[in-house]
Chain A
Amino acid sequence: MAKSPLASCSLNISGMHCASCAMTIGKVLHHTPGVISADVNYATEKAQIKFDPRQITLAKISQIISGLGYSTKSDDKARQTNILLVKFILSAIFSAISFFGPPPLFQLVLATIVQFWIAWDFYVTTFNSLKHRAANMDTLIVLGTTVAYVYSTAVTFGLVPGDPYFDTSMTIISLIILGKWLEARAKGKTSEAIKRLIQLQPKTARVIRDGQEIDLPISEVVVGDQIRLRPGEKVPVDGKVLSGETSIDESMITGESIPVYKHTGDPVIGGTLNTSGAILMRATQVGSATMLSQIIKLVEQAQASRAPIQKLADVISSYFVPAVLMIAVATFAGWYVATGYLPAMLNSIAVLIIACPCALGLATPTALVVGTGLAAQKGILIKDAENLEIAYKVSHVVFDKTGTLTEGKPIVTDIVGGSKVLQLAASLDANSEHPLAAAIVSAATKAALKLSPVTSFKNLAGRGVEGTISKIKYTLGTPSLFPKVSSDVSRLEKQGKTVVVLATAGKILGTIAIADTLRPSAAEAISQLHRQKISTSLITGDNPTTAAAIAKIAGIDRFFAQVRPEDKAVSVRQLQSEGQTVAMVGDGINDAPALSAANIGIAMATGTDVAIEAAGITLVNKDLRTIAQALKLSRATLRTIKTNLFWAFIYNVVLIPAAAFGLLNPILAAGAMAFSSVSVVGNSLLLKRVRLT
């Protein structure tokens, strides 16, 4: 009985994050019936597999590997790029030979190989497209070169007088293939950032189930699972530290370069790297709910969005190829009537070849992919191309104070009147939900003060509280509640602190000052914005004295004081009425209406939820300097889109008429066309060099 031939293949495997992943895949494949050998290499991310096609198919093998949580791809892409290079070299050699003027019959042999073997894919694509009554660049190339080839063949066999143009048809094909090869290589580089993000996703987790530690594929981890994390391992899913302490490198997600110290209760983000200690964590978000999955989804959505600036290019590219075909026919007719068939043919070929719909099609998407990918690496998530265009125009940035410009953790800094004042104030505030009340209660707890029961408690609508303690009625609130307060109040307010006064029966008992620390990056962030000629303002519920002091410390140009949360949008509209294009920076929760009212909302994500509806840009880290970076990157990306569109239009708007009027040789046209797409993609890649600081 004849032995069946074995098949072998090379598969690209992505998602392996250590050598043991490669071993796992190898082991499973070895035990799969039909697989003869499987050599999985972690470093090259490839598997060389020998199998019996009667027992198992390549698709089934891919399915098995995918089932383990890795993704497979046959080496098609790399192979196709290599084939393009080989085709270019061959056609370039043949074209060069034909330039030396060998006998026409010999040229015909070379040209036939180029036309119907090297350029055969162009014919296949054209044929497939015509079945759908559609056309693309390949249609134009096929038409242009076929006309030159058929004419030259007729000349070779003496059917028409003149010289053959085999060198033209062959050179056009080699230049177009060179352009396609360069474009394929460059295009791959544009999407490196998103690929890197996808590769961050861990594949396995060491989960404790029934008291035993087992390695589970990430898809089997559920919320509540306890996970053991050792130094050097990636955090598998979002979670909270249950025990242990460590430093985690979060730079790949947040862009912050310094590892973050984590201990019990701290949140950890899936995909980040545990650098030093061993910890036990509990999974809080898994699957598509993890921060990394949300980021990837947001970036992918942004890259798929359409920029308003692209509209004209979109309209043109949908009619482009038929229009060029019609212009080519008109060129032929015009030149035929004016001179004769030879210039008519050459000029109509030049029209067909110079037209470059690809440059138009690539102008916006490639810049968008590079720009949004680069942004994501810095912890900046741009929602879509439309918001990118708005960010380009921002002239004023408004900062919400609490939790945005400040840490959002107010603490009691000064007590005038002794611990009794704090004890009474804390007893009243224990009934309030105001963030400042929490600071006073926390200070009393720290000082081990015992709180007293309060009766007849009343909330004074954002201005303070009142209540009865041991039959005495107390009022605690903003200084404006009282006709006269001590000089301490203005002294503390001038330091940027929020002051509350405690009084009973018109008598002031004491004053408590609360401050929320400015983020360390605040002043530098504001100064970076000013350097970009962007003005700034602050919105706060504080009184004007405190607001002015904070604005001064941070270097902010102006402030809106005593603004209630629901009125923040009004301040934003006021700025817009002054002609400003406003970006509002907030946490995206309490200030959603203001974020929506602004031309663009910039949210600083709290926790692991990054899909903030009201925000056009979401910042994953807490570094305020990222705002200036986000705006700078948006401007750079839009500038690249504009340059790309300009060149794409110039190529077509200027060079098509030039070709039609006989000012362009078909070979020059092919060269210009081949490099137009490459120049657009190359220009987009230059974005990677933008200095953001």
Chain B
Amino acid sequence: MDKVIVIVSSLGLIGFIYWFFLGKNDKESAMSTDIKITVSGGYSPESVTVPVGKPVKLTLTRTDPTNCLEEFVIPDLKIKKTLPLNTPVTVVVTVTSTGRYVFHCGMNMYHGQITAR
């Protein structure tokens, strides 16, 4: 009986892990050219919307000491910045075409995205 319980709970747990980590929906933020992102256990907000062709100011503040989040990368825009702890770092980006631009930490484990419209 206990084996059945373990198997059923494990299947349930696997389903939960899938839903919890991979089934989340990104909430889109309102379009802005001055965006503040807090970096702690991920990015807040994770999804930002920017206008095409206009310079956009992204200000990142890392409050999480884990060195995983020390680097901030937007590979498609060839931007990489080191984020010192508790020090705001500003990146000015101008996106020239519509689409989604993923940003992530140096080891590609925490993700966010910029939607350009």
Contacts and interface: CB of A to CB of B under 8 A. Distances in A.
B52 to A, nearest CB: 20
Contacts of A360: 107-108
B17 A322 contact: yes
Interface in B1-44: 3, 6-7, 10-11, 13-14, 17-18, 20-22, 24, 40-44
A319 B42 contact: no
A320 B21 CA distance: 11
Interface string A303-335: 111100000011001111110011001101100
B66 A125 contact: yes
**Most central of B10, B11, B75, B109 by chain A CB within 10 Å:** B109
Interface in A150-187: 180, 184
Interface in A548-594: none
Interface string B77-117: 01110001100000000000000000000111111000000
Contact of B108 (A318, A329, A336, A384): A318
A137 B66 CA distance: 11
B79 A304 contact: yes
Contacts of B78: 301-302, 304-305, 384
A576 to B, nearest CB: 27
Interface stretch (A44-52, A128-136, A476-484, A489-497): A128-136
A125 B109 contact: no
B107 A317 contact: yes
A317 B108 contact: yes
A76 B85 contact: yes
Contacts of B18: 322, 326
B74 interface: yes
A326 B66 contact: no
B85 to A, nearest CB: 5
B6 A336 contact: yes
Interface string A119-130: 001001101111
Contacts of B85: 76
A304 B93 CA distance: 14
B56 interface: no
B64 A128 contact: yes
A365 B106 CA distance: 8
A669 to B, nearest CB: 19
A318 B111 contact: yes
A80 interface: yes
Contacts of A80: 65, 67
Contact of B84 (A76, A313, A358): A76
B75 A304 contact: yes
A256 interface: no
Interface residues of B, number: 39
A304 B109 contact: no
A133 B21 contact: yes
Contacts of B42: 128-129, 131-132, 134
A361 interface: yes
A121 B108 contact: no
B68 interface: yes
Nearest to B104: A318
Contact of B10 (A77, A300, A329): A329
Interface string A278-316: 000000000000000000000011111110000001100
A249 interface: no
Given A125-B64, A300-B80, A133 B24 contact: yes
B110 A329 contact: no
Interface in A612-633: none
Contacts of B75: 304-306
Nearest to A127: B41
Contact of A337 (B6, B74, B76, B109): B6
A370 interface: no
A80 B85 CA distance: 11
Contact of A361 (B3, B14, B108): B108
Task: Provide the main secondary structure of the chain A interface.
Answer: helix
Nearest to A76: B85
A132 B3 contact: no
A9 B27 CA distance: 41
B73 interface: yes
B14 A326 contact: yes
A516 interface: no
A362 interface: yes
B84 A325 contact: no
B106 A321 contact: no
A184 B67 CA distance: 8
A329 B13 contact: yes
A317 B79 CA distance: 20
B107 A357 contact: yes
B103 to A, nearest CB: 11
Contact of A73 (B21, B41, B84, B111): B84
A133 B7 contact: no
Interface string B47-71: 0000000000000000011111000
Nearest to B4: A337
Nearest to A132: B42
A136 B68 CA distance: 8
A138 interface: yes
Contacts of B21: 133-135, 321-322, 325
A613 B84 CA distance: 32
B26 to A, nearest CB: 11
Contacts of B73: 304
A648 to B, nearest CB: 11
Nearest to A306: B75
A76 B85 CA distance: 8
Given A134-B41, A304-B80, A361-B107, A336 B3 contact: yes
Contacts of B65: 80, 121, 124-125
B6 A333 contact: yes
Contacts of A76: 84-85
A362 B7 CA distance: 36
A129 B24 CA distance: 14
A360 B106 CA distance: 11
Contacts of B13: 329
Contacts of B64: 124-125, 128
A337 B3 contact: yes
Nearest to B78: A301
Contacts of B79: 301, 304
B80 A337 contact: no
Nearest to A385: B75
14 contacts: A125-B41, A125-B66, A133-B21, A136-B107, A184-B67, A300-B80, A302-B78, A304-B78, A318-B108, A333-B6, A336-B3, A357-B107, A362-B107, A384-B78
Interface of B: 3, 6-7, 10-11, 13-14, 17-18, 20-22, 24, 40-44, 46, 64-68, 73-76, 78-80, 84-85, 106-111
Q: Which 9 A-B pairs have the closest CB atoms?
A: A128-B41, A361-B107, A132-B42, A304-B80, A333-B10, A306-B75, A322-B21, A301-B78, A129-B41
